[in-house]
Chain A
């Protein structure tokens, strides 16, 4: 009766290496997540386990449960950069304070510069993927303004970060205002 010729091609046996690696990593991370705070609590000293936990969360969401949507080069820079800022802040606050105000703006303008280069390197592709860049510029501008009003004198990395963010914002508003408006309407829709 089956003259439809239902048939399926034989599939090559796929390697289960990645599956097993993911399983092992999963348990290592879970173990680390439980054990590190306990060890840190009993051994005492600076709260290094917070840094370990933050790293585990980042690695988990990057390696074991990566986003199934929208992994773009600019998005990756934004994500990795955000993690670098969080980790640096934690190290600066918990282990060796005193240098955060200098290093964080350097990371900030590094992220902005890299994202800007990526954006202009493929305008056709990234014109419709402008949101991570908008977030980066906004965060950098807000950070700059907070520091500007809080401190009398700003260091050069902060000034560079603020200027770069301002230049990118102005350029963006002039050259890509239509794209930005369209992107904001889509991203913030409630329908």
Chain B
């Protein structure tokens, strides 16, 4: 802190009298937008000073820099009292109820830029962007019947990406933030507690943050294709529980339980994920291969996963069951929510059904076509809604221990693995030349030894495998199988944690 103050003071000395006056008036107008406890205000002012210093040092005049960093971008976010709150959506309700110490459903979305990230600019971009995403500026709190998201007013901070990906966030103190913004080299990552949002909602936030970062760095302002203007008005429908709002209320209802799935071998590691392996494919190669088999990319990757899982499993006492989240927005295009709005289906194959990739891919494709339908998802959505409604007057003190046991026994062991595919990521044309790619990493489950996630941008498709065990047979099989299909992915691994 002292070093920063010294640096800022010596920078101010290098400015002309006029520039110093401009600098001061900029800071004064900044202060007008802040109404927070002293420490927080000081931090936000320091963010502005550091960002302005960076821009001026990189060749901009003080006037140009202060225009880019105009205090109007703060809006009223830091001056208003935190009054809003949001009931959890139907999918999020289970997370805080069943969560145990040291375990938290997390996921990470990353954007890779052409240049190394400038932390000072990323911080101020976050200071400006957060106001547009009020349901993210919240903390989970315990109600008498249900948890809820309570809004908080603070400076949301960025940090250097030095830890294990998707680690639980400390959210138990008043005013902690429920997401992380991390930077490392040319990567900007956001890690979200799943209670806030799903992959699609999180991606809107990440893309909007990156767009704001690029705008401050001098790229023309861009919106659309999932990029929101941080200064535009907040839409109420972006924060709604669309499971409730758009529930189709089918007559048929289903259940969430099922037989336990076959699990891969390997001892569960102390730290989870103990490793993240990322396979970067050429999108065109993957598409050609999938189309060659007459299936979608998701079906092809699922087929690879079934085979890799077979090779990594010692004991077959049931079926391999892979959980596939289904984005409900594709069935309800009117939904604009940034909260959770996904359900899931289970693709199950017995060991005798897993013969060769082509056959497996078509079996998977058949199951996907049958299970990931509007009708099936509507039944699941209605069942979830009925369950939530029937439990609404039972105090959390009773619900929570029951859910912990039920979720521990049924929820996780039902699946051998997960594949969450965010699909093709699109950004506005102005942004595209500055972005190299995106990736998506899921946190691990309790019992399943791996969780897979993928997304593609431009000519790259990234498949991320979060490991819950040191045993490398699953990812090694994935690589071998990919190469056999002529896909030749480039592979990156994190160090082995724990």
* B460: chain A residues within 8 A (beta carbon): 1-2, 4
Minimum CB distance partner of A124 in chain B: B37
**Are A6 and B172 in contact, CB atoms less than 8 angstroms apart?**
no
**Are B280 and A6 in contact, CB atoms less than 8 angstroms apart?**
yes
- The listed residue with most B CB atoms (<10 A of its CB), out of A6, A11, A64, A182, is A6
Stretch of B43-51, B135-143, B355-363, B421-429 on the interface side:
B135-143
With an 8 A cutoff between CB atoms, is A175 at the interface? no
Interface positions of A from 18 to 50, Cβ below 8 Å from B: 19
With an 8 A cutoff between CB atoms, is B144 at the interface? yes
* A128: chain B residues within 8 A (beta carbon): 82, 150, 174
With an 8 A cutoff between CB atoms, is A96 at the interface? no
Stretch of B63-71, B159-167, B367-375 on the interface side:
B159-167
With an 8 A cutoff between CB atoms, is B278 at the interface? yes
* A64: chain B residues within 8 A (beta carbon): 101
**Are A5 and B112 in contact, CB atoms less than 8 angstroms apart?**
yes
The answer for the CA separation of A191 and B148 in the assembled complex, in Å, is 9
**Are A1 and B282 in contact, CB atoms less than 8 angstroms apart?**
yes
B96 to chain A, nearest CB (A): 6
* A4: chain B residues within 8 A (beta carbon): 112, 280, 436-437, 439, 460, 462
A176 to chain B, nearest CB (A): 13
**Are A191 and B278 in contact, CB atoms less than 8 angstroms apart?**
no
B436 to chain A, nearest CB (A): 5
With an 8 A cutoff between CB atoms, is B168 at the interface? yes
* A71: chain B residues within 8 A (beta carbon): 172-173
**Contact partner of B143 among A2, A8, A186, CB < 8 A?**
A186
**Are B161 and A11 in contact, CB atoms less than 8 angstroms apart?**
no
**Are B171 and A69 in contact, CB atoms less than 8 angstroms apart?**
yes
The answer for the CA separation of A4 and B175 in the assembled complex, in Å, is 35
* B100: chain A residues within 8 A (beta carbon): 65, 68
The answer for the CA separation of A25 and B494 in the assembled complex, in Å, is 32
Band of interface residues on B = 35 or more
* A9: chain B residues within 8 A (beta carbon): 160-162, 184
Contact of A68 with B439 at beta-carbon distance under 8 Å, contacts A5-B112, A10-B495 already known: no
* A121: chain B residues within 8 A (beta carbon): none
The answer for the CA separation of A129 and B497 in the assembled complex, in Å, is 37
With an 8 A cutoff between CB atoms, is B474 at the interface? no
* B83: chain A residues within 8 A (beta carbon): 182
Minimum CB distance partner of A16 in chain B: B270
* B187: chain A residues within 8 A (beta carbon): 5-6
Contact of A66 with B101 at beta-carbon distance under 8 Å, contacts A10-B495, A188-B143 already known: yes
Interface positions of B from 475 to 498, Cβ below 8 Å from A: 488-490, 492, 494-495, 497-498
CB-CB contacts of B435-452 with A at 8 A, as 1s and 0s?
011010000000000000
With an 8 A cutoff between CB atoms, is A153 at the interface? no
* A70: chain B residues within 8 A (beta carbon): 141-142, 172, 174
Minimum CB distance partner of B88 in chain A: A191
* A187: chain B residues within 8 A (beta carbon): 141, 143-144
**Are A7 and B145 in contact, CB atoms less than 8 angstroms apart?**
no
Contact of A69 with B147 at beta-carbon distance under 8 Å, contacts A1-B460, A191-B87 already known: yes
**Are B141 and A186 in contact, CB atoms less than 8 angstroms apart?**
yes
B267 to chain A, nearest CB (A): 15
**Are B393 and A190 in contact, CB atoms less than 8 angstroms apart?**
yes
A3 to chain B, nearest CB (A): 6
* A150: chain B residues within 8 A (beta carbon): none
**Are A6 and B278 in contact, CB atoms less than 8 angstroms apart?**
yes
**Contact partner of B144 among A7, A65, A67, A188, CB < 8 A?**
A188
* A3: chain B residues within 8 A (beta carbon): 436
* A2: chain B residues within 8 A (beta carbon): 280, 460, 490, 492
With an 8 A cutoff between CB atoms, is A171 at the interface? no
B458 to chain A, nearest CB (A): 10
**Are B495 and A67 in contact, CB atoms less than 8 angstroms apart?**
no
The answer for the CA separation of A31 and B489 in the assembled complex, in Å, is 51
With an 8 A cutoff between CB atoms, is B410 at the interface? no
The answer for the CA separation of A180 and B171 in the assembled complex, in Å, is 23
Minimum CB distance partner of B110 in chain A: A6
The answer for the CA separation of A102 and B121 in the assembled complex, in Å, is 61
* A69: chain B residues within 8 A (beta carbon): 96, 140-142, 147, 171-172
The answer for the CA separation of A40 and B393 in the assembled complex, in Å, is 40
A48 to chain B, nearest CB (A): 27
CB-CB contacts of B184-206 with A at 8 A, as 1s and 0s?
11110000000000000000000
* B260: chain A residues within 8 A (beta carbon): none
Contact of A6 with B492 at beta-carbon distance under 8 Å, contacts A69-B172, A189-B87, A191-B146 already known: yes
What 4 A-B pairs have minimum CB-CB distances, sorted nearest first?
Answer: A2-B490, A191-B87, A4-B437, A71-B172
- The contact sample of 27 A-B pairs, CB cut-off 8 A, is A1-B460, A2-B460, A4-B439, A6-B278, A8-B276, A11-B163, A11-B495, A14-B498, A19-B270, A65-B100, A66-B172, A68-B171, A69-B142, A70-B142, A70-B174, A71-B172, A72-B174, A125-B175, A128-B82, A128-B150, A128-B174, A186-B150, A188-B143, A189-B143, A189-B145, A189-B146, A191-B244
